[in-house]
Structure 1
Amino acid sequence: MVFALFQIIAILLNVAITVIIVQAIMSWLLAFNVINLQNDIARAIWTTLDALTAPIYNPIRKIMPDFGSIDLTPMVVIIGIIILQDAILPPLQLALT
């Protein structure tokens, strides 16, 4: 039971990293005007990605200093997820089994 729960958590964390990377790449494409939000599909994808990541990003953005046009929040979140995956969850799983 505990093993299955930790597998689900690991899958969700990997999905979160993927969503963050996709949003970062899409933000670069928008910034360099490769795609624009006039396209309905691009706007729908951007809105969905923003809705998924905003609850994670907003508390971190309040703490992080302003770097102008550079947003380091996705990198901070990915580093936090990797720390959670590699340093916190394995010992916790061992302790609970």
Structure 2
Amino acid sequence: MTSILQILLLILDIAQWIILAHIIMSWLINFQVLNLRQPLVAQIWDGLSRLLEPIYSRVRSVLPNLGGIDLAPLVVLLGVYAIRIVLINNAAAFY
């Protein structure tokens, strides 16, 4: 059962890094450090967006409209951290 806990924590770690990469990449694109006309950048951005957009859209439907500020990635990242904390605090159930 310990291996199940470790696999779940690994999945949450991977999700955390994917969300952070998407956030940083969006900043770099908005500040014109990265250009979407470059094929590699466009492919990575498209892949990350396709992976995360279904999750973000569900969170955006719950959040109020704040104009140009998108808090969906922050809420999802906080959710990943919260799930991680719950799993670690209940690790005794996996033994």
TM over 0.5: yes
Question: 1:70 — aligned with what?
Answer: 69
State how far apart, in whole Å, the 1-side matches of 2:9 and 2:94 are: 16
Runs of 4+ residues deviating >2 angstroms: 90-93
Question: 2:93 — aligned with what?
Answer: 95
Length, aligned pairs only = 95
RMSD: 1.2
Mapping 1:1-97, distance limit 5 Å: 2-86=1-85, 88-97=86-95
Q: What percent of counterpart residues are identical?
A: 35
State how far apart, in whole Å, the 1-side matches of 2:23 and 2:89 are: 31
Tell me the alpha carbon deviations over residues 1-30 of structure 1, each in whole angstroms, 9 at most, x when there is no partner: x11011011011011110111111110111
The change in CA–CA distance for 1:95 and 1:69 in structure 2 (over 3 A counts) is same
Structure 2 length normalisation: TM-score? 0.91
Q: What displacement does 1:91 show?
A: 4.2
State how far apart, in whole Å, the 1-side matches of 2:4 and 2:48 are: 25
- List alignment gaps of at least 5 residues for structure 2: none
